[in-house]
Amino acid sequence: MAASSPPHVVIFPFMAQGHTLPLLDISKALSFRGLKVTIITTPLNAPFIHSKVSDHISSISVSVIPFPIVPDLPQGCENTANLPSVSLDILASFITATKNMKQHFEALLKEMVETGSRPICVISDFFLYWTLDTCRSFNIPRVVSHGMGVLPMLILKHNSDPCKTSSEFDVIELPSLTLPFTLNGSDLPVCDPDDPFTRVILEVEEADKNSWGVIVNSFQELEGEYVTALEGLYYKEARAWCVGSVLLYDYIQEQSRASDGKSQSCGPYIEWLDKQEGTSVVIYVSFGTQARLSNEQMDEIAYGLEMAGQRFIWVVGSSGMWVPDEGWMRRVEGRGLVVRDWVDQRSILAHPKVGGFVSHCGWNSVLESLSMGVPLLAWPIEAEQPLNAKFVAMGLKAGLMVSEERVKTIDRHVICDGVKELMESEKGKSARERARELGTMAWNAVKKGGSSDEKLDELINRLIDIKRD
């Protein structure tokens, strides 16, 4: 291999949109720095990934390996969005099935090494825990990606007995860790020591702790005070590298290419936003690709939005079987837009007409919203989302909680009051100002000389030095 050949990084995302997108952003950030990137995925996930990196074909390639056929999963199910249910047992089967990709992964790395394109590291999703053994066999550092922020990751790892039974109202104290909010039993994922998902997570956690390092989609100014504590939970002096908000690397490149500095994204929902008068006047509602709300809850959201009287864009998403009544559609016509297709969420949040985001508080959505200076009305549903929601509302003060009670169905009046408070009240105004401050910090972090820009350079240089040794 010629001495001038660029450093090579392999990126292996878990087959879920929320896990894949930030790693695609990291792929682009590495390619902007002149690195060669290979993304590993499966046949049915490849078209989506190709569509996201098609402008970088000279530096980013996609290698496809087969997804295994296993009895517990429907044939052709290669992404968590296509799982027949949201049960943890099914998710455990899906994660376990990926282990059957190990032989193909090893063959790919072997070919890279033999052809003189040895990677300086493999950036692997934490659910693909089995990649650690393969990386070790080739003496290639494994850098793990969680898709979570530093603080929620720290809390989940610090909670040394996750399966300890506790009431949802119990206050949980974590030794030597000061939190910016009260941690209750209801904020942590439900855990059963006998279920398949818990057994998988124990394997995942062991591989995670033994990885060379962890790459985090966050930035020093947002969560820097928790980084040292997180690193202390890893073995062999592993480092946590905060290189986010990773979506902004691409935005900066777009702005340098476009004379007007505007996003090139378009669609019916952007055209609708363009027609609205004023700024920060539309509230955006979306619960991500995985959440599946009941028809009863969808009705409550619909009537809550109507009662609030605000202009809104509501992405129905995976709750696509829900159909609103015709009377409601007539009453909100002109001030509300219901979207059933996939949307470019980032372009919506970047639009100056959007002034709030009703969100499940997945970490990607939190960072996308804050990076664009948009406050959140936090409505956590599962996983670490309650931690993200409390961090945003109580720690960062860049949003409000739709409700502090974890109930099966949130009433329309509660939804109405939350939307109006975010969009009209002094509390909402304060949250919006704080979100804009954090947005400025996020952009500065990824600019030349910013904290995330320097951390990414530091990570690359450290890996190159290891390869030389």
The pLDDT value given to residue 319 = 53
192 and 170 housed in the same domain: yes
The tally of domains found in the chain comes to: 2
Question: Per-residue pLDDT tens for 81-127?
Answer: 888 877 888 899 999 999 999 999 999 999 999 999 999 999 999 99
272 and 391 housed in the same domain: yes
438 and 460 housed in the same domain: no
Q: Considering the domain boundaries, does residue 143 fall inside one?
A: yes
Q: Which of 125, 208, 250, 453 is catalytic?
A: 125
459 and 326 housed in the same domain: no
| The two three-digit tokens of residue 261, written as one number | 């500095």
Q: How far apart are CA 163 and CA 197, in angstroms?
A: 12
Q: Considering the domain boundaries, does residue 3 fall inside one?
A: no
Please check the confidence at residue 142 and state whether its pLDDT lies above 90.
yes
Q: Considering the domain boundaries, does residue 128 fall inside one?
A: yes
CA dihedral of residues 64, 69, 70, 75 (deg, nearest 10) = 110
Q: Is 260 one of the annotated active-site residues of the chain?
A: no
DSSP readout, 347-416? HHHTSTTEEEEEE---HHHHHHHHHTT--EEE---STTHHHHHHIIIIII-SEEES-SS--SS--HHHHH
* Domain with 237 in it: 8-250+444-468
Domain of residue 81, CATH code: 3.40.50.2000
Q: Which of 19, 56, 146, 351 is catalytic?
A: 19
310 and 420 housed in the same domain: yes
76 and 195 housed in the same domain: yes
Q: How far apart are CA 147 and CA 145, in angstroms?
A: 6
The pLDDT value given to residue 320 = 57
Question: Per-residue pLDDT tens for 411-469?
Answer: 999 999 999 999 999 999 999 999 999 999 999 999 999 999 999 999 999 999 987 76
318 and 175 housed in the same domain: no
223 and 146 housed in the same domain: yes
Q: Is 19 one of the annotated active-site residues of the chain?
A: yes
Q: Is the pTM of this model over 0.85?
A: yes
337 and 448 housed in the same domain: no
454 and 412 housed in the same domain: no
Question: Per-residue pLDDT tens for 324-359?
Answer: 888 999 999 989 999 988 889 999 999 999 999 999
317 and 419 housed in the same domain: yes
